[in-house]
Amino acid sequence: MRRPAVTFVLLAAVAALATEMIRTEAAGLRFAVPRTWDRVPAPSDVRAAQWKARHAAGDTEDAEVVLFFFGKGKGGGVDENLDRWYGQFTEPDGRAARDAAVVTIRTVNGLRVTAVDLAGTYKPGQMPSGPLPPPKRDFRMLAAVIEGEDGPWFLKMTGPQRTMAAAKPDFDAVLASLTPHR
């Protein structure tokens, strides 16, 4: 008698998760994003899709989530992108960002995903049509290079520490949902 109750609880949990995520696709990838992320217009063609994740209590800024795609075989390799992302952060204790970062590598549905988790003072890049934004203290970046036959793709999420801590499970769920789309 206990088995049907456990099965029902598991099915209910899976159904709840399924309603919390929305399946989508962009630039040859299929994936699921949280319903709480708001899709926003991307200001350039290399931004295949863009969202904002609403800020957590105590933060005043939303997190930005962008899927970049520069074209098949374009956008640089894993090490090149990790180095660029490390260069966007300084650590309050003076350590090199590379030494503070947590890097994980896994395979998801045939795609090699190299993810980085990095916190500190974020130095956002300059947009072509504007001045260099000021550095942002207590920020965090979750980013991934996604390698596959039609890639690479780059998923990057940046925002204040509390917001990013709350959003990390969602970011990880997006990475776990990746599948190539041909």
CA atoms within 13 A on the CB side of 88: 28
Please give the chain's pLDDT, 182 residues, in tens: 445 554 444 444 444 444 499 999 999 999 999 999 999 999 899 999 999 999 999 999 999 999 999 999 999 999 999 999 999 999 999 999 999 999 999 999 999 999 999 999 999 876 666 788 899 999 999 999 999 999 999 999 999 999 999 999 999 999 999 999 87
Residue type, 63: A
Task: State residue 125's pLDDT score.
Answer: 75
Beta bridge partners of 169: none
pLDDT of amino acid 124: 86
Cα 142-156-44 angle, rounded to 5 deg: 165
pLDDT at residue 132, rounded to an integer: 83
The architecture CATH gives domain 22-180: 3-Layer(aba) Sandwich (3.40)
- Which ranges in the chain belong to alpha helices (H)? 2-20, 78-86, 97-100, 161-176
The DSSP string of 63-105 is EEEEEE--STT-S--HHHHHHHHHTTEE-TTS--HHHH-EEEE
Please tell me the predicted confidence (pLDDT) of residue 126. Answer: 61
pTM of the shown model: 0.87
Give residue 41's pLDDT: 95
E strand or H helix that includes residue 52: strand 47-53
Q: Which residues of 153-162 are buried (b: 16+ CB within 10 A; e: fewer)?
A: bbbbbbbbbe
